[in-house]
Structures are given as structure tokens and as C-alpha cells.
Amino acid sequence: MSDTGALRRRARIEDPTEPKAFAEVRQYRTRLSRLMNAHDAAGLVLGLLYLSRTAHASPGDSVPTWSWLLGKARERSSRIGPSVRECLGHWFPAAESTGDDTDTRELMPVPPHSADDLLHGLILTINSVQQVGTLLDLCLHDLSVEQARGSHYFTPGDMARLMVGAASPQDGHSVLDPACGSGGLLVESHRYVSERIGLKPAMSLQGKEQHAHTSQVARMNLVVRDIKAHIYPPADSLAKPEPNRYDIILANLPFNQPNWAPEIQNDQSTRQDRHLPIDPRWPEEPPPRGSANSAWILHIAHAMAPAGRAAFLMADNVAKTAQPATQKLRKQLLETDLVECVIALPPRVFGHTDTTACLWVLNRDKHARLGWGTVDRREQVLFINARRAFEPVSKSRARRLGDAHTERVLSTLAAWRGIEEDGAASMPYRDEPGWSRSCSVKEISGRGHNLMPTSYAVEPLGLESDTRTRIDQLKHELIEKLNRGHALESQLLDVLEEI
């Protein structure tokens, strides 16, 4: 089944209305957030949903189970808070803290004494839910909204579908997300393949996450959906190269992350004196310390299998900045013919920020071949300008791609690759002014190795479009300068610390 066909199928089978039970669960979460930290309230709901699907034991085992907790909830007179804490304490997935989280006491949400009345109703409502996956998505969305204030959000569903559809994993593939968050991209990869083969896929799903609390959320997310995956103990993925190679790498990366792996940076700078081994990700010199953008791209490229593909989100400035180190990186990627497609995404599709981003698709083998496409695209790159491909989110400044825009992007990419649509040959790809353009690596190299889609898929000239384009350009330049200012501020603080 094609990417677009799967989206149409999902639109037909999903009920767009939210069941009453889902609305009740969200109301309980809102009321709990008045009694405890809103982030913990969302985590508590997620934890109870996890218990409802996992806390089961053999008869005779003296451990707290969901049935036991459900019985307590039905006894309206009982104090249920301690029972909830006991059940969570026994069944919550272990989160080994080897990352940068030094205090893991908050990993298990603890309901306050005043929440007993709400917990009775919440447990009974969760027990009545049948569509566990949909409710889980809503819980993760609410948790993401609470975390977004600290720029630590989960990948929106439509963005996950776009990223996975662009990478196009197949049954039997190994998939890695080195910054997996809640595990959403791994879940979507599993769903993507399941819809195409009609069976439970035989995939190797691997996730890494730096924060212990979020790593625990990912474990719960996958277990509740009965998806087999391995979430590594919390750690910084950039600290060392991946020991294995992967068919598919997916990542919603932290933009402009400062002070990445400083101990690796220091060791690398003195390796000649100390005879340290060369890091295979950057054999000449490590990427700039002030921002981890280049380090992430090189880390992902190094972990790709000989025919591997990768799809990851990256801040706009990486695609176009004239900074020598980043320009050198783009040149290296083009000379090795790794870049397959770059998609300029709409602003505010992540809700909490106006920072604009691009979706990069890398591919180690762009030959015409089974499982990829019928058109040889070596030494070519597809640019898609999806800046205006969005729909508004009700009662919010945020935007979303939506299924229609996601389908259009994936249809364009499928036509460029020459992928069959539901068993029939796709329409031949043609450039569309203002939307997409296929360029040779030679042309891109002649333009300073610029990989910004808006520089190639340019809207036709006209007074309205020219004015709109200029406003967008000025806005994006201002955002880029503000982000650059924040990065320089971090670098200045580092220098002052060393004096």
C-alpha cells in the first residue's frame, strides 16, 4: 500500500468524534492538575492507563494488580491514594538513571491525599475504555503540551506520519530513534509497516533518550500498545558513535543544542598528545561546540546502513547559513550524495515556538531499486516548499500539517522516486513552481551548497506573492538572528567561565 493510500484508509476507518470516556478522562486530568503539578497530573493518568493494560498477575501472587485497584475504586469509602502509589511502585517500568537527570524521585507521579474522589472515577473510566491507542495518544498530547513550555515536547502525530512516510521503513528493517522522547516515531513506524503487510511486522525498533522520566514514558507507550522495542537506559546519544548500522533512522532533534558532549570535545582536541582514538563520525575535527546541529547530522549519517535512510527535523539555519563549518558539512553531504530531499515546514506546527524547521531525508542508495522507487535519482535532490501547507488549530495560534497536506508532500516524493500508487504506476514527476523542484547536486554546489527549499521552489512572481515572500523572509531572518543571539550568549558564558 502506498503512503497516500494508507492516509486515505486511516481517514475512512477512524471516528473523528472523541468518545465520551476520552472526554471524561481529560476532564479528570484537568481537575487533578488543580491539586498537583499539571505535568504530574498528565503523567499520573498515563501511569494508570499503563497499569490497566499491564498490572496482571497469576492467581495466588501477593502483588497489587489492576483488578485489585479496580476493586478499591469501586469501594467509594476506601482511601485509594495509597493503593495507587503501591500499584504504581510495583509495576512502573524501571528507569536506570545514567543520563543527565540526577534526581529521579519524581519519576513516579504521587497523587495527593485530596485527589481520592477523583481517582475513584478516573480508574473506573479508564477501565471502560476499549480504544486504548487513541486514549494513549490523547494522554501523550496533554503531557507534551505541559512539557512544551520547557521546549521538551513530543512529535505531533501528523509530523510523525510525514517523517515515517518519507523514510518508508519496510518489514524486517532495523529502526533507530536516537532522541526518541515518548517513542512516537517508533510507534508510527510499527503502524506504517503493519498497515502495508496486514500482519505484525518483524522489525527491530531501538530508542534512546537522555531524560530518565521521558525514557520511562516511551517504555510505557510501547508496552501498552503491545509493540516490541528496546529503549536503552537514559544517556546522551552524542557521547559516542552508534556501534550498529540501521536501515532507518528517525529523529526529532533538539535544535541548536549548546555545549553538547563537552568531555568528548575536550578529549578530541587533545587526542594527539594522549593517543586517543579518532572518532569515526568526524575524523578530521569535531563539530562546533556552540551548537549540536552538525554533530547530530554526522552522528546519524555514520549510523546509516549501506542502503539506509534517515528522516530528521533540523532548524532552518543549518540548510542555508554561510557559517564555514556548517557550509562544509553541507558540501560533504552533497559530495557523498547522501541528501535525497529537504522539505521546508510551516511555522508554528510545533505549537510552542515560531522557529521554522526543515525535514531532511538522507539516503545512501538512490539507485532505482525494489523497495524505494523506479527512477534513478543519484546526484539529484528534491526540494519541497511546504511553508503554506498547514491548517489552523482551533482556539490556538498553533498550526498543524493535517492529513491532506501530509498526503500532498508524500505524493510528491513518491512521484519523484517513481513509487507505484496502490499497484498502478504513479504520474511522472514534474516541478511545480512554489511547491517543488528537483535539482542537480552540481547546481546546488554552485549556489554555496544551499539546501533551503524556499531558495529553489520559488513562488511565481507577482505583487501579492512578492510582498508575502518578503514579509516571510524578514520574519525568518529575525527569528534566525534571535536564535543566533541565544547561541552566542551561551558561548560567551562558556568563555567567561574559563577566565
- pTM summary value: 0.84
Q: Which of 414, 410, 421, 400 is nearest to 162 (CA)?
A: 410
Encode pLDDT of 5-40 as tens digits: 554 444 433 443 447 899 999 999 999 989 998 878
- Say if residue 98 is in the same domain as residue 126: yes
How many Å apart are CA 321 and CA 448, to the nearest integer? 10
Which pLDDT does position 270 carry in this prediction?
46
- Pick the closest to residue 405 from 397, 394, 413 (CA basis): 413
93 burial type by CB count under 10 A (0-12 exposed, 13-18 middle, 19+ buried)? middle
Average pLDDT, the chain: 84
Report DSSP letters for 106-168, one per residue.
TSS----GGGHHHHHHHHHHHHT-S-HHHHHHHHHHHHHHHHGGGT--PPPHHHHHHHHHHH-
Of 221-225, 414-418, 430-434, which gets the smallest average pLDDT? 221-225
In the numeric block, the cell 586517543 is attached to 276
The answer to whether residue 97 scores a pLDDT higher than 50 is: no
In this structure, are 105 and 194 located in the same domain?
no
Three-state DSSP state, 351 = coil
Question: Of 446, 473, 445, nearest to 459 (Cα)?
Answer: 473
Q: How sure is the predictor about 424, in pLDDT bands with cuts at 50, 70 and 90?
A: low
Q: With respect to residue 49, please indicate whether it lies within any of the assigned structural domains.
A: yes
At residue 429, the pLDDT reads 95
pLDDT above 90 covers what percent of the chain? 51
Structurally, how many domains does the chain consist of? 2
**pLDDT value for 230:** 96
Quick one: 50 and 71 in the same domain?
A: yes
Residue 84 shares a structural domain with residue 173: no
Same domain, 104 and 207: no
157 & 138 share domain: no
% of the chain at pLDDT higher than 70: 79
Task: Say if 488 falls within a structural domain.
Answer: no
Model pLDDT, residue 160? 95
| Mean pLDDT value across residues 107-115 | 80
Nine-digit cell at 422? 496502490
For 326-361, write each residue's pLDDT tens digit.
999 999 999 999 999 999 999 888 755 667 899 999
CATH number, domain at 271?
3.40.50.150
Cα separation, 125 vs 129, in Å, equals 7
- Decide the pairing of beta strands 204-207 and 230-231: parallel
- In this predicted model, what pLDDT tens digit does every residue of 367-397 receive, in sequence order? 998 878 999 999 999 999 999 999 887 777 7
Tell me the three state secondary structure of residue 30.
Answer: helix
Separation between Cα atoms, residue 259 and residue 240, nearest integer Å = 15
Same domain membership, residue 126 and residue 194: no
Residue 455 pLDDT more than 90? yes
Say if residues 253 and 296 touch (Cβ distance below 8 Å): yes
Tell me which residue of 106, 242, 104, 214 sits closest to 153, measured CA to CA.
214
Q: What sign does the dihedral 408-409-412-413 (CA atoms) show? A: negative
How does residue 420 score in pLDDT terms, banded at 50, 70 and 90?
A: confident
Q: CA 140, 142, 146: angle at the middle one, nearest 5? A: 110
pLDDT at 467 over 90: no
Q: Find out whether 218 and 205 touch, Cβ atoms under 8 Å.
A: no
Which range among 76-90, 284-298, 341-355 shows the weakest confidence by mean pLDDT? 341-355
Q: Where does 315-438 have alpha helices with state H?
A: 316-320, 324-335, 402-417
Domain boundary (146, 179, 200) is at 146
Same domain, 157 and 23: no
Are residues 195 and 91 located together in one domain of the fold? no
Residue 274: how many other CB atoms lie within 10 Å = 7
Place of cell 506520519: 161
pLDDT at residue number 89: 86
Shared domain for 280 and 218, answered yes or no, is: yes
Cell numbers that stand for 199 in this block:
500482519
Q: Are residues 25 and 39 in the same domain?
A: yes
**Which residue matches cell numbers 529503549?**
231
Q: Cβ of 489: how many Cβ atoms within 10 Å?
A: 11
* pLDDT tens-digit map of 166-219: 999 999 999 999 999 999 999 999 999 999 988 889 999 999 999 888 898 899
Query: 3-state class of 176 per DSSP?
Result: strand
- pLDDT reading at 422 higher than 70: no
Is residue 228 a contact partner of residue 118, using CB atoms and an 8 Å limit? no
Separation of alpha carbons 228 and 226, rounded Å: 6
Q: Specify if 125 maps to a domain.
A: yes
Q: Are strands 304-315 and 246-252 parallel, antiparallel or unpaired?
A: parallel
- Could you tell me the end-to-end alpha-carbon distance of the chain, in angstroms, rounded to an integer? 60
Q: Are residues 191 and 130 in the same domain?
A: no
| Residue that terminates a domain, selected from 84, 111, 146 | 146
Show the domain range for 113. Answer: 13-146
pLDDT digits (tens, 9 = 90+) for 239-281: 999 999 999 999 999 888 887 865 554 444 444 444 456 899 9
pLDDT digits (tens, 9 = 90+) for 132-164: 888 888 888 887 777 655 455 678 889 999 999
Q: What is the spatial distance between Cα 117 and Cα 76, in angstroms, rounded to a whole number? A: 8
Question: Which residue would you say has higher pLDDT here, 134 or 364?
Answer: 364
Given a cut of 60, whether residue 451 has pLDDT beyond it is: yes
Compute how many other C-beta atoms are within 10 angstroms of the C-beta atom of residue 495.
8
Assigned domain for 482 exists: no
Question: What pLDDT is stored for residue 95 in this prediction?
Answer: 56
Nearest-CA neighbor of 21 among 135, 145, 139?
135
Cell numbers standing for residue 61 = 501472587
The C-alpha cell at 354 is 515560531
Strand partners, 258: none
Residue 179 CA to residue 237 CA, distance in Å, equals 7
> Is residue 228 one of the residues assigned to a domain?
yes
